[in-house]
C-alpha cells in the first residue's frame, strides 16, 4: 500500500447487482479517500454453498423489497442497473462461473483490464439483459472492454486451467474466511485488523471506521 493508505478489498461477482453498485461507488471513493482499492473477483455460488446462504429473492417479501431497493440505489448512485421481477429467475438460471474464471485469468495476466472488463460484464447482464455464461458472450464482453482478440482467446483457454480454477477458489475461500456470506464483501485492513462490510449500503460506515 502507498504510505499510510488503508487497503480495501472488494470481493465481488458479476451476477450480483449490489456488487456493481458497491464497485462503482468504491471506484469513485478511491480518488477521494486515502485507500488502496483492490478488486478480488470471487464466486458467489461458492460462497452461498459453503455458508448455507440462499438467494434473497427466494423470500417473496424480500424479493419485493429488493426490486424497489435496487431501483432506488441505481438512481441514487447513477449506475445503470435495470431490474425487473424476471431477473430473479435469470440470476438463478445463469452461472457466473465461466465469467468469473475469465475475469480471474485477466487479473492474473493483465490487471489493467480488470476494472473495465468487470464493468462490461455488469453492463451486459444488468443493463442489456444479455447472457454472460457462454464463451461467445465472454468474448463479446472482452471486445467491448478493449481487449485484443489474442488476449481474450488466451484468457479463455486459461479458464480451464487448474491455475485459474484454484485462484478463483482461493479468493472465494478467503472471502469466507473474513466472514463473507454474500456479495459484495468489502474488507478494510485498518489498525492491523480486517473489518468486513457486507453490501453496497455500508460504505459511509466503512469511511467512518477508517477515519474518512
The grid coordinates of residue 185 equal 464483501
Return d(Cα 203, Cα 201) in angstroms, integer: 6
pLDDT at position 3 is: 59
CB 106 within 8 A of CB 147: yes
Annotated catalytic residue: which of 16, 19, 96, 152?
16
Return d(Cα 1, Cα 36) in angstroms, integer: 6
Helix (H, G, I), strand (E, B) or coil at 193: strand
Domains in the chain: ranges and CATH? 6-210 (3.40.30.10)
pLDDT at position 1 is: 46
The whole-number average pLDDT for the span 49-56 is: 88
pTM score: 0.95
pLDDT at position 179 is: 97
Residue 85 has pLDDT above 90, yes or no: no
Looking at every residue in the chain, the average pLDDT score rounds to 95
Cα separation values, 64 from 32, 56, 61, 68, 133, Å:
35, 10, 5, 7, 26
Higher pLDDT, 5 or 23: 23
Q: Is 19 noted as a catalytic residue in this protein?
A: no
Amino acid at each position: 500500500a502507498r504510505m499510510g493508505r488503508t487497503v480495501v478489498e472488494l470481493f465481488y461477482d458479476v451476477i450480483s447487482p449490489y456488487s456493481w453498485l458497491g464497485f462503482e461507488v468504491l471506484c469513485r471513493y478511491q480518488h477521494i479517500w486515502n485507500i488502496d482499492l483492490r478488486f478480488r473477483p470471487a464466486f458467489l455460488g461458492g460462497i452461498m454453498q459453503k455458508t448455507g446462504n440462499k438467494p434473497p429473492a427466494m423470500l417473496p417479501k424480500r424479493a419485493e423489497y429488493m426490486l424497489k431497493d435496487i431501483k432506488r440505489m441505481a438512481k441514487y448512485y447513477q449506475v445503470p442497473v435495470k431490474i425487473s421481477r424476471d431477473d430473479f429467475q435469470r440470476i438463478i438460471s445463469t452461472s457466473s462461473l465461466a465469467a468469473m474464471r475469465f475475469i480471474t485469468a485477466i487479473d492474473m495476466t493483465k490487471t489493467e483490464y480488470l476494472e473495465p472488463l468487470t464493468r462490461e460484464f455488469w453492463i451486459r447482464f444488468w443493463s442489456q439483459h444479455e447472457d454472460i455464461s457462454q464463451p461467445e458472450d465472454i468474448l463479446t464482453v472482452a471486445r467491448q472492454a478493449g481487449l485484443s482478440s489474442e488476449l481474450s482467446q488466451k484468457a479463455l483457454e486459461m479458464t480451464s486451467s487448474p491455475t485459474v480454477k484454484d485462484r478463483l477458489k482461493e479468493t472465494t475461500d478467503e472471502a469466507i474466511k473474513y466472514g463473507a456470506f454474500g456479495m459484495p464483501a468489502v474488507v478494510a485492513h485498518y489498525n492491523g485488523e480486517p473489518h468486513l462490510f457486507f453490501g453496497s449500503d455500508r460504505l459511509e460506515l466503512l469511511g467512518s471506521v477508517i477515519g474518512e
